């Protein structure tokens, strides 16, 4: 279900670039870049208001994942490091299209089933968040998170594990 204010931006223009599972509610934004990207969201997931998933490679989200409000998930650097290339990207975007030939250091992101990501988190490229993990509010996830771990901070660090009776 796409709620009012939700956005789906398929710059890749491939019909299967963005797939959303059954009983999933989107209040934020799903975006693929023109040169690549795919977003797969499982069943019974939630993407909160003002949250964004921006893909130039691939973002896979399992089932029953709750992504709170103001979360950003990137499988890429979003902009080139080189100033000239960054300016060319900017000019292309303001002219109405994302550039096709661009290197944004893309690395897949995978969020396994039953994960909770607290508000105002950032998940960076190349990260896997394991099944049942919890990411505390305001965290910046720069490295893989093991299954059933509770992480928090900038960068996110292990706080403790989800107790066995809560799994």
pTM score of the predicted model: 0.92
- Domains: count for the chain: 1
The per-residue pLDDT for range 144-165, each reduced to its tens digit, is: 999 999 999 999 999 999 999 9
1 inside domain: no
Query: Is residue 59 situated within a structural domain?
Result: yes
Residue 105 in any domain: the answer is yes
pLDDT tens-digit map of 45-54: 999 999 999 9
pLDDT number for residue 101: 81
* pLDDT tens sequence across 12-31: 888 899 999 999 999 999 99
Which one of 3, 50, 79, 87 is the catalytic residue? 87
CA dihedral 109, 122, 74, 131 (to 10 degrees): 20
What's the pLDDT score for residue 13? 86
The answer to whether residue 120 is domain-embedded is yes
The pLDDT score that the predictor gives to residue 80 is 87
The CATH number of residue 112's host domain is 2.160.10.10
Q: Classify residue 83 by burial, with Cβ atoms within 10 Å: 0-12, 13-18, 19+.
A: exposed
What's the pLDDT at 116? 98
Task: Supply the range of the domain harboring residue 66.
Answer: 7-166
Share of the chain above pLDDT 90, in %: 77
Please report which confidence band the pLDDT of residue 93 belongs to, taking 50, 70 and 90 as the band edges.
Answer: confident
Bridge partners, residue 161, by sequence = 149
Averaged over 86-107, what is the pLDDT? 86
Q: What is the pLDDT of residue 69?
A: 98
165 is catalytic: no
Residue 100 has pLDDT above 90, yes or no: no
Residue 151 lies in a domain: yes
Q: What stretches of 37-135 show up as alpha helix (H) in DSSP?
A: 83-94
């Amino acid at each position: 279900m796409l709620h009012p204010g939700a956005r789906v931006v398929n710059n890749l223009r491939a019909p299967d670039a963005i797939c959303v599972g059954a009983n999933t509610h989107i209040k934020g934004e799903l975006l693929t870049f023109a040169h690549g990207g795919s977003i797969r969201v499982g069943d019974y997931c939630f993407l909160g208001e003002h949250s964004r998933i921006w893909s130039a490679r691939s973002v896979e989200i399992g089932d029953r994942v709750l992504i709170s409000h103001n979360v950003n998930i990137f499988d890429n650097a979003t902009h080139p490091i080189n100033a000239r290339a960054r300016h060319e990207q900017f000019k292309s975007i303001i002219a109405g299209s994302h550039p096709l030939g661009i290197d944004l250091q893309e690395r897949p992101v995978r969020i396994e089933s039953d994960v909770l990501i607290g508000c105002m988190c950032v998940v960076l490229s190349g990260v896997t968040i394991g099944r049942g993990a919890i990411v505390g509010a305001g965290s910046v996830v720069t490295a893989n998170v093991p299954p059933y771990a509770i992480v928090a901070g900038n960068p996110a660090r292990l706080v403790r594990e989800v107790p066995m009776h809560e799994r």
